Structure 1
């Protein structure tokens, strides 16, 4: 397949309108605010917004095609007028009028929403079917208006030989079997699977474990490769049928921006990542980062987020100001745990040697911290590292490794253990979450059984590939050509 094969978005396009104004008084005839209108904006919504975002996301000149139902009504004409030039429309006849969503906003926040329009697609033409056969990847943006149903046979065929992402709707179609990734949000997943595990007391639960169970059951029910449950400000969970090891991807930054359109941003970013040859894990990681930046920039209500203009870069990490000494003694660490859990917070722990701290370590630690309210690093002692890694390790002694870790804003405490695994230490700390990098699996973690003793949970987080202490040490020892020195270095 060539890089010029198009990204195809199939689904229900809406017209989204935002009415912005101020209010300082109530109406005389009812206790409702009077809004003095200052500005009105119109933009493509639903599948139309996803296509507009796709035109911003592709970077190699690949075409974006939107297959959707449009008619002769004023709302359809407005969508055509505001659609960015990077999107080619392949229209299906619309029976009725295009759905319109109007938000009345005061101080940047929606006050009320008005919906109108009941149009449904007619029979797709040959061009719609042909473009699906030519696609590099397909996103189905299902908003419950039957466009996906009109092309279901063609979408089923497409899912057999190319990446297909399905963004579902409770009133829409079930995803076609074989879809590479399905992206319900947490509320939609609860609608599809109200009780993920009968008898386990998880009905309606908002825990990561419950969301993972729902995603796994949905993947099995639909016969799809993977399900990514989006959790808003918490990030997303990627899982598969009969999977006990969901991948949790936290957001890269917390923001109070407008979330309108974040789901469309997530879905199309994942589809573009899969079109680029990425795995579902990479697609979800990129999608969480893009959706977080999208919300921080003002969501769909900010025209700069979907029109072809320069977008502001997404912020990364969390900044830390001055702080006191990071707890290191076990009694101090336990006091931190008690304080956090007493106020209802989540204690997160991770562990490792952290010898020659590199970018993969830092990403893991930052992401681990974002999953809860404090992060405790369980650090192997020098003797423990030597037993695990061999003579010559650690390269940095314990005191230096502690000093580097405690210099990171994302680390709240460090606890040292001398055994080969931190199970004994974990039984003292009793964290709510235990996280490791993506080169592990939950079922393979010796600490997972210990976590279950007090109701804790083990998670696997994304990990930057290709980073390792051993590789860095070999390059440092051998200079430009490390082949002659690498054999003498411990692994």
Structure 2
């Protein structure tokens, strides 16, 4: 989204609960094969330890400047102590419930020439400390603005439904990164963030985007999710909500080096954005940008606010519409930085060269072009039962594909008058042979200190003429 800046609200506080993991990396060179077995010999040069699982989520939150508490179960061992030292150094407040009967979950990776040769996992999922974990969670949740549940299926969140229910009771948003072949325990989650493979395990395979959206909306309804964010690797991510059009974020083009922990970064940036009062549309845009950055780094890693802001222009457009309330939030943010808002409206049923040139001219008048489009019922009332040719979602995607358009918002009335009065653009633009006094909303914009501009349409370019040509050929 153009001109939107990621600026976390440092006063917000995040609670991360889940499976805490110590990631170990053993680096070395391989130049020969062992005489004992057909395996490479690694001459170890150095060893590195990093926070993984829920601990990596907490580090990602901390790197964005917010206060974060981390709660989870570890062993009562040196691995737990070393992990706490790593986290405390990065301003993460640790609340480890230590279980003497199990080791701290550890993933040990042998790496040579930037390639992972083997991974050794040390874990025990059977813990007796889940009730102690829930008791501590109930204590900590009183002082936070948002909760992240990071489920790596290592045993800490076996009773995840209890954690969700308590957050719901306190009206605190709860985001869940799932790791299960049964999503039922995640019912009533605010946002669920499965990757595409995890999503397909639950809903089955799909062949088209329409199938993806249909299955996603059904899952939202069944589990009573506010939103479902499916991360899809090189296909970006898709935000699905039951009663709203989907939002597609295309993958930000970067060289993929390592996808380890990318989901941790996504849910951390998403939570920080929501806690900082950004709309969900904008929050997912930030998360998508962050995901494109973190996969360039090796191993479990995090990103900074500066990195995200420097790369936002690679992912500045939403591929759908926003409602008027979220549009107002976006516009206010743009206006606070001294930018001018231009607004125009129309059905934009079949977009042609006349539309493209008109929108380019409108965009040149100010800094941010907002296009308001009639919803399908409104178009039908204005144009007849045979219209629209393209539904609302398709029209919005095409408009967002134009470099001149910064934001698309819909309205369901016959005219955009109420929307204009709600959004208060600096300049209202209309195409055609209108006189200023004939333009709906012109009086309000002028009274509010704004401007009204009439741009002529190109002759011969119209949706009506295009439809006539098509009908004549048939």
State how 1:282-431 maps to structure 2 within 5 Å.
Answer: 282-296=282-296, 298-301=297-300, 305=302, 314-315=310-311, 380-382=352-354, 396=361
Considering Cα pairs closer than 8 Å and 6+ residues apart, tell me whether 1 or 2 has the greater RCO: 2
- 1:129 maps to 2:138: yes
Question: The residue matched to 2:289 in structure 1 has which SS?
Answer: helix
Please tell me whether the aligned partners of residues 19 and 37 of structure 1 are also in contact (alpha carbons under 8 angstroms). yes
- 1:138 maps to 2:102: no
**Structure 2: runs of 5+ lacking an equivalent:** 1-8, 321-329, 332-349, 380-386, 410-419, 430-444, 456-474
Please tell me whether the aligned partners of residues 215 and 238 of structure 1 are also in contact (alpha carbons under 8 angstroms). no
**Which of 90, 97, 110 in structure 1 is aligned with 2:95?**
90
Q: 1:71: Cα distance to partner?
A: 2.4
Structure 1 residues 210 and 447: alpha-carbon distance in aligned structure 2, compared to 1, 3 A threshold: same
Q: Which residue of 1 aligns with 2:122?
A: 116
Question: The residue matched to 1:112 in structure 2 has which SS?
Answer: strand
- 1:21 maps to 2:25: no
Q: How many residues align?
A: 371
Question: The residue matched to 2:176 in structure 1 has which SS?
Answer: strand
Tell me how far apart the structure 1 counterparts of residues 307 and 356 of structure 2 sit (CA, whole Å).
Answer: 45
Structure 1 residues 240 and 466: alpha-carbon distance in aligned structure 2, compared to 1, 3 A threshold: closer
- 1:228 maps to 2:192: no
Tell me how far apart the structure 2 counterparts of residues 394 and 380 of structure 1 sit (CA, whole Å).
Answer: 11
Tell me how far apart the structure 1 counterparts of residues 454 and 56 of structure 2 sit (CA, whole Å).
Answer: 53
Question: The residue matched to 2:132 in structure 1 has which SS?
Answer: coil
308-317 or 104-113, larger mean C-alpha shift: 308-317
Please tell me whether the aligned partners of residues 182 and 224 of structure 1 are also in contact (alpha carbons under 8 angstroms). yes
Deviations 1:64-110 (A, max 9, x none): 00111122123222211211441111222334112211122222122
Deviations 1:412-442 (A, max 9, x none): xxxxxxxxxxxxxxxxxxxxxxxx9897889
Structure 1 residues 32 and 394: alpha-carbon distance in aligned structure 2, compared to 1, 3 A threshold: closer
Structure 1 residues 148 and 486: alpha-carbon distance in aligned structure 2, compared to 1, 3 A threshold: same
Provide TM-score, normalisation by structure 1.
Answer: 0.63
Deviations 1:308-364 (A, max 9, x none): 99868654557xxxxxxxxxxxxxxxxxxxxxxxxxxxxxx99xxxxxxxx99xxxx
Tell me how far apart the structure 2 counterparts of residues 316 and 276 of structure 1 sit (CA, whole Å).
Answer: 17
**Which of 187, 201, 206 in structure 2 is aligned with 1:191?**
201
Question: The residue matched to 1:178 in structure 2 has which SS?
Answer: coil
**Which of 64, 67, 88 in structure 2 is aligned with 1:63?**
67
Q: Which residue of 1 aligns with 2:454?
A: 490
- 1:177 maps to 2:187: yes
Tell me how far apart the structure 1 counterparts of residues 374 and 118 of structure 2 sit (CA, whole Å).
Answer: 47
Provide TM-score, normalisation by structure 2.
Answer: 0.65
Q: Which residue of 1 aligns with 2:268?
A: 268
Please tell me whether the aligned partners of residues 17 and 100 of structure 1 are also in contact (alpha carbons under 8 angstroms). yes
Please tell me whether the aligned partners of residues 164 and 189 of structure 2 are also in contact (alpha carbons under 8 angstroms). no
Q: Which residue of 1 aligns with 2:335?
A: none
Q: 1:446: Cα distance to partner?
A: 3.7
Tell me how far apart the structure 2 counterparts of residues 459 and 114 of structure 1 sit (CA, whole Å).
Answer: 48
Please tell me whether the aligned partners of residues 76 and 98 of structure 2 are also in contact (alpha carbons under 8 angstroms). no
Deviations 1:245-280 (A, max 9, x none): 321011232322211111000011111111112232
Tell me how far apart the structure 1 counterparts of residues 151 and 25 of structure 2 sit (CA, whole Å).
Answer: 22
RMSD: 4.5
Q: 1:487: Cα distance to partner?
A: 5.6
Please tell me whether the aligned partners of residues 71 and 137 of structure 2 are also in contact (alpha carbons under 8 angstroms). yes
Q: 1:380: Cα distance to partner?
A: 3.4
